[in-house]
Amino acid sequence: MSEATDRIEELLDKVVEALGLDADVVIDEEDEGIRATLEGDDLGLFIGRHGATIDAVQHLAFKIANRDAGRDQAIRVTVDAAGYRERRRETVERHMGREWETHEFQMAIVSYAGNIDEWDDDRIVIKWQH
């Protein structure tokens, strides 16, 4: 296991202990990056409402794994529990009425005096007027 994998496993062990969960941490190093999975019963507390907790832990795991990596050397990190990521993907696909493309993403824009001038399927143009 790599140093990044060891750091992720240590983080997840601490989170599992702090939440009082009965779960095992399984880490796989894959070509696409590192996949960390919690296996156990009643992992709802770890997943959190609308996945907020698991997403936050995944963000921390990414930061910890890549703390010494350059911007273009970052390792992808996925944290899953009780099949949450697959269930979430299925829910999104059901709402969209089609398969989810891996290159799609969600973006929230917060604007202070900026105006969105154009919005189509391929591009967004934001201009700030002084």
Residue 117 lies in a domain: no
> Within 10 A of 95 (CB to CB), how many other CB atoms are there?
9
The token duo for 102 is 């891996």
Residue 17, amino acid: E
What pLDDT is stored for residue 69 in this prediction? 83
Whether residue 29 is contained in a domain is answered as yes
Q: How many domains does the chain divide into? A: 1
- Write out the chain's pLDDT in tens, 130 residues: 789 999 999 999 999 999 999 999 999 998 889 999 999 999 999 999 989 999 999 999 999 999 988 777 889 999 999 999 999 889 888 888 888 776 665 555 555 555 555 555 556 655 565 5
In a domain, 13, yes or no: yes
Structural domain includes residue 106:
no
Please tell me what DSSP assigns to residue 48.
Answer: -
pTM for the model stands at 0.74
Residue 41 φ/ψ region, left for φ over 0, alpha for ψ in the -120 to 50 degree band, beta for the rest: beta
Phi/psi class of residue 117: alpha, beta or left (left: φ > 0; alpha: ψ in -120 to 50)? alpha
SS3 62: helix
Q: Is residue 109 part of a domain?
A: no
Name which of 42, 25, 43 is nearest 34 in CA terms: 25
Amino acid residing at 81? A
Distances (CA, A) of 54 to 33, 84, 128: 17, 9, 35
Inside any domain, residue 121: no
CATH of the domain at 39: 3.30.300.20
> Does a structural domain hold residue 11?
yes
Write out the residue range of the structural domain in which residue 84 sits.
Answer: 3-100
49 within a domain of the structure (yes/no): yes
**How distant, in Å, are the alpha carbons of 99, 116, 117, 123, 125 from that of 120?**
20, 11, 10, 6, 9
